A and B are shown apart, each in its own frame.
Chain A
Amino acid sequence: MASPPLGPKRANVTGRNEINVAERFELSPTPIKQFTLQNGLRVILSPDSAVPVVSVALYYDVGSRNEKTGRTGFAHLFEHMMFQGSENVPKAAHFQYIFNAGGTMNGTTSTERTNYFETLPASHLPLALWLESDRMRSLKVTQENLDNQRNAVQEEKRLRYDNQPYVNAFLRINELIFKNPANAHSTIGSMEDLDAATIEDVQEFFRIYYAPNNAVLSIVGDFEEQEAISLINKYFEGIPSQAGPPSVDTSEPADVARTQEVFYDQLAPAPAFVLGWKIPPRRTPDFYALSLAADLLFEGDSSRLYQKLVKGDESVVSIQGGIDERRGPSALYIFALPKPGEEVAAIRDQIFAEIQALRISGPSAEEMEKLRNSLRNDVVRGRQSTMYRAQRLAEYALYDNDPTLMDSELDHYLSITAEQIRASVEGYLDIDNRVVLDIVPSALNEEAQTEAAASPQPPGEPQQPAAPAPQVPARPPAQPATDAGGVMGAAEKRPEQSQQPADPPQQTERGSGPLHT
């Protein structure tokens, strides 16, 4: 806490309408050292001695989008296997080494990538690198461990999806938005596909995707740069590279796969609905604009839909939305929980009317000011955590080959004009080319009763794998990617109490890890 001031100089605020943060807002650049080992492993270093901890993030370029038909859920199951032992690290010892050194760790899987990360007292950087390199070099796979982790993953699926109201509908909607199976299926996968996974699948997957040339290592925290470089060389240099993995086709037609469906939910206590749209890939101008449009529509108490439906009409109990940010075609969702007795179709019409209003008139000047200040606030706040920075740096390096986006992506968002936001709504938040998924409590529906008991699919639909649950809502620049499934959930705060001063810190990453979130 004793580092020199990095922030802008404080200025007198003389009046509400004279605030112009942009002119006075400058953050010192994030120190970034990047290099590539001979085996192709990309490395990002960013030293910061404010707190004596170090965060290590290892990102592999493999997610559910790389899965083959009939093997859905495999990238995530594999992530669990990465904690089951390697040449020099016994089964489950990874957890123990990290925790016993006073660290926290997890791994998560999304459509785009699988990540592994740990924060440790700064002196334990060698341990983190040894553990990560040992499993990259020499993962050990046994039938017993595969069976055991299959069980753990199936319980994770039951815990986080099948035993929760409304959640499986979020998996279903991706199957209605996307036509390409690479985009449509869920990260958690299907029970049947998980059952079908074999040892040979695991070994093949490891060889293809867990090569150094398919990964990014980033380290942020209290370390000496030269020391870190020599440790990285020592532990990772000898791991051989592999032929590049097969390319992924995530291309999509403009139309959604299906515009309307009813989802019978055995656990939902009341009807609800989800709307979904297909939107352009991340880091495109339209994506930035739509992210901001989404903020205006449903982010926070000042948002248009909250003010219209929760406050004005008092017709919904809650309204939330989110964006599933991907390298390929992405998605935007809105979830509404109507009040009892309210006409669901009328609420939908109101949502469409609000979208139309944004399409016609665009954001107001006040709304643009709000967006810009929120973007800046989120970016600065996110930087407090070394783990947050390690994850963003690795992500930008992996997806964009440019970790300096850590500092510069904000400018892309800030450069978006009101007209671009308006135009993006016109271009993509189409009233017709969208999915409407009605969620009906199946306990109250005779027709659905027998079918729903066996599966969450509506009658007559082919049994399909599901798609990742969006983390709703997600702010574009300050939130990590949407994830589904990991090795553990974060140790939950079980009794509904605030954290004890002595309890472990919160996870940086949302979503699930190999442990708990």
Chain B
Amino acid sequence: MTNTQPEALKQPPPPLPPRPIKLPTTSETTLSNGLLVVVVADQRLPLVSYRLALRSGDAHDPAELPGLVDMLTGLLTEGTQSRTSREIADEVARLGATLQAGANSDYTTVAASSLTTFSDEILELLADVALRPVFPANEVELTKQNTKESLKQQRAQPSFLATEMVAKVMFGAHPYSVTAPTPEAIDATTREKLIEFHRSKFVPNNAVLVVAGDVDHDSLLQRIEDLFGNWQPGAVIGDDFPAPPTRTARSAYLIDRPGSAQANIVIANSGITRTSPDYFPMLVMHTVLGANASSRLFMNLREEKGYTYGAYSSLDARRTAGTFRATAEVRTPVTGDSLKEFFYELGRIRSEPVSEKELADAKSYLTGVFPIRLETQEGLIDQLVQIKMFGLPDNYLNTYRSQIQSVTREQIQAVALKYVRPDEAAIVIVGDGNQLSEQIKPYAENIEFYNTAGKRKTKGEASSAKSATFYVGDWTLQIDTPLGQSIPATLTLSQSTNGLSGKVESEMGSGELVSATVDGDSLSAIVSLDVAGHAIEANIFAEVTDNQIEGTFSLQDAPALTFTGTREKTAEAPAQS
């Protein structure tokens, strides 16, 4: 490391002359039923990619059925009028192709890609699953079961818990507040509801089909006309959603996850829609503050302080509302110190104009990474779909770089003052509650406590992880009915190899626990009840304090019943396997 260097190596080299960006040219055609077709010729490789996008997303779930659109997209490939689930899977695989559907809050997509050789066949499959799904009863049932299990898995992820709480707090009555289905909504989803949603929302005049690839334009359009021309248009319902709540004070929401190895921090403010005139100033402000590893948040919390693997901001701008967030996962003992640095940076972006260098760097970053995402067909289609789904101008890609270049320091400070509002922020933290509440107190007068089931805790003290013996015993319960009656029941919990097992006995029916999961002082279980010879599944959610238990008991499709109870006999010796 001691060899002397030529002077020329001491300074960063100047760039070579810029090379021109060849933006793709698109051609648009509208079929008589209203389906807009956007085609980009891309002859670099023998590939083709299709994406059908519809302006209905998770936000359009029926209010009582959160998660319906997600289940529906999963079921599109599980059976059509002419193909079974298995046939669809085998045919896609035989072509070496991909075919998948999905949704976000604002829109739904059905995407397919293949080698050019199979471009006709994969498009026919796409049309079949998008237009003619039949939602077979057995597939609906299986999807419901697996969605419930996935929900349990999601709740084990700290990032899911943080996102769920942020959405709930920030969006209130607006449907963006919902990030996942509930077990009750999954139970209540039926084949009929899926068919009805598909019939009303999957209409050509609410959709766009984007194609990129090595295609012959005229024969492609003929093929699209053949496959999609008979698709019947329908009524298009706009986005008529309640406004998200206006925040007036800072508060903290602590989700107690006993044993958590880190604290997940999200600091959220209300933000902008995707088409807001403030979008480009916000984008540049976000780049200076926290978009990447050279932004202020990363440089401070990671490179200076070493509190985290990464600290970022995020600009969440959707069709009808948005948030602006600052996030990091930090080691638990420095959660308070991290909040201090976050609020320092959130204050600084408001109080001082960004420097000329920061402004130039942020613009250079945003304009420079722009062409990289156009390298792949998927990346290009992403852009074109979003332009259509969010209602961005048709020349969006052509004007993107000049829009970035025109942002001023004054505009950046103005949007920071308008949208970065530390005194009104929601601080959401997921972590080990026992180690966190004292650290959070200096930054929020008001702290609400939740468990990982998303249920508000009445007591301020966080709980710690409990072992199976905490729950084991014979519990005597009183279940309250809507008519004011009280039904006696017993819940027997014992320890087994893989956790808890047990049974429920009551007048309504009796049966064994199918599964049980515990989290801190709360227990979720599924019991298979024999009710007059019929097997019915019920969900139990309970919180235990010493020898007291309280919670809810819900049968499929019925409102939850509350119960309270006491422990008659405490832990037995653990069962041997």
Interface residues of A (CB under 8 A from B): 1-8, 10-11, 13, 19, 21, 24-25, 27, 49-53, 87-88, 91-92, 95-104, 119-127, 130-131, 133-134, 137-139, 147-156, 158-159, 162-165, 222, 227, 234-235, 238, 240, 266-271, 300-302, 307, 310-311, 314, 317-318, 337, 339-341, 344, 366, 369-370, 372-378, 380-381, 383-386, 440-441, 443-447, 449, 453, 487-489, 491-492, 494-506, 514-516
Contacts and interface: CB of A to CB of B under 8 A. Distances in A.
A100 B365 CA distance: 5
Contacts of B1: 87, 137-139
Contact of A10 (B41, B117, B312): B117
Given A96-B361, A102-B368, A497-B318, A130 B12 contact: yes
B116 A516 contact: no
B163 interface: yes
Contact of A444 (B105, B261, B369, B498): B498
A101 to B, nearest CB: 6
B306 A148 contact: yes
B202 to A, nearest CB: 19
Interface string B378-391: 01001100110000
Contact of B157 (A152, A164, A318, A366): A164
Given A127-B12, A444-B467, 18 more contacts: A1-B43, A6-B43, A7-B46, A21-B117, A123-B17, A123-B19, A159-B329, A269-B152, A301-B85, A370-B93, A377-B113, A381-B47, A453-B259, A488-B298, A495-B323, A498-B386, A505-B372, A515-B292
Contacts of A441: 498-499, 517
B149 A337 contact: yes
B455 interface: no
Contacts of B457: none
A197 to B, nearest CB: 15
Contacts of A270: 149, 152-153, 515, 517
Contacts of B121: 13
A131 B21 CA distance: 25
Interface of B: 1, 3, 5-6, 8-22, 24, 40-47, 77, 85-86, 89-90, 92-98, 104-105, 113-118, 120-121, 142, 145-146, 149-150, 152-153, 155-158, 163, 166, 179, 214, 216, 259-262, 266, 274, 283, 291-294, 298-299, 302-304, 306-310, 312, 314-318, 323, 325, 327, 329-331, 360-361, 364-377, 379, 382-383, 386-387, 392, 396-397, 400, 465-469, 495, 497-500, 514-519, 526, 528, 574
Nearest to B403: A502
Contacts of A266: 259, 465
A375 B96 contact: yes
Nearest to A386: B375
Given A300-B93, A446-B469, A163 B309 contact: no
B229 to A, nearest CB: 21
A303 B86 CA distance: 10
21 contacts: A7-B47, A91-B303, A96-B294, A100-B364, A101-B15, A104-B372, A126-B13, A126-B15, A148-B306, A163-B158, A314-B145, A337-B149, A337-B153, A370-B96, A373-B96, A377-B113, A377-B114, A384-B375, A443-B466, A446-B468, A515-B293
A159 B58 CA distance: 28
Contacts of B18: 52, 121-123
Contacts of A444: 467-468, 495, 498-500, 516-518
Contacts of A100: 294, 360-361, 364-365
Contacts of A19: 117-118
B374 A51 contact: yes
A178 B403 CA distance: 55
Nearest to A129: B13
Given A103-B369, A271-B498, A494-B314, A159 B309 contact: yes
Most buried by A among B19, B92, B466, B499: B19
Contacts of A3: 43-44
Contacts of A494: 163, 266, 312, 314, 316, 325, 327
A119 B574 CA distance: 58
